């Protein structure tokens, strides 16, 4: 078994894709009007509308309702990354901070409210 991706379901695909393209500096693949993928090395972040999960009925994910997951991106320099992206990061939840275990981390919110951790490991 190989991990393939994390998919975020949203009601505003264009805003979410624009946010993650800005964050990663990567252009999303848009194979369908209701679906996009951002490839960052071996990991894929998929972003899609409710239409992609409609067959799940009442068990389908609810957009903008995440309260249990962080999307994480490892970066070389957290402080420089946050400064470079500041204009496109309207909600910085935690500014760059050194965590007790040594990681440098900053947490922001995407347009749907999902927490996004930008982190670097100790040297």
pLDDT digits (tens, 9 = 90+) for 23-51: 999 999 999 999 999 999 889 999 999 99
Q: Quick: pLDDT tens for 47-63.
A: 999 999 999 999 999 99
Q: And the tokens for 75?
A: 């970066």
**Cα distance between residue 54 and residue 102, in whole Å:** 42
Q: In terms of pTM, does the model score above 0.85?
A: yes
Work out whether strand 43-48 and strand 6-9 pair parallel, antiparallel, or are unpaired. parallel
Average pLDDT, the chain: 95
d(CA 114, CA 119): 16
Q: What are phi and psi of 67, to 5 degrees?
A: -135, 15
Burial of 100 (0-12, 13-18, 19+ CB in 10 A): exposed
Domains of the chain, with CATH numbers?
1-56 (3.30.720.120), 66-123 (3.10.180.10)
């Amino acid at each position: 078994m190989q991990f393939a991706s994390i998919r975020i379901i949203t009601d505003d695909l264009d805003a979410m894709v624009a946010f993650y393209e800005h964050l990663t500096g990567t252009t999303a693949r848009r194979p369908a009007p209701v679906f996009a993928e951002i490839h960052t090395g071996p990991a894929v972040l998929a972003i899609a509308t409710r239409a992609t999960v409609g067959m799940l009925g009442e068990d389908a994910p609810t957009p903008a309702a995440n309260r249990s997951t962080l999307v994480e991106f490892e970066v070389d320099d957290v402080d420089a990354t946050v400064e470079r992206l500041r204009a496109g990061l309207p909600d910085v939840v935690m500014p760059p901070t050194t965590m007790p275990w040594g990681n440098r981390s900053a947490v922001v919110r995407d347009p749907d409210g999902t927490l996004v951790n930008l982190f670097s490991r100790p040297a």
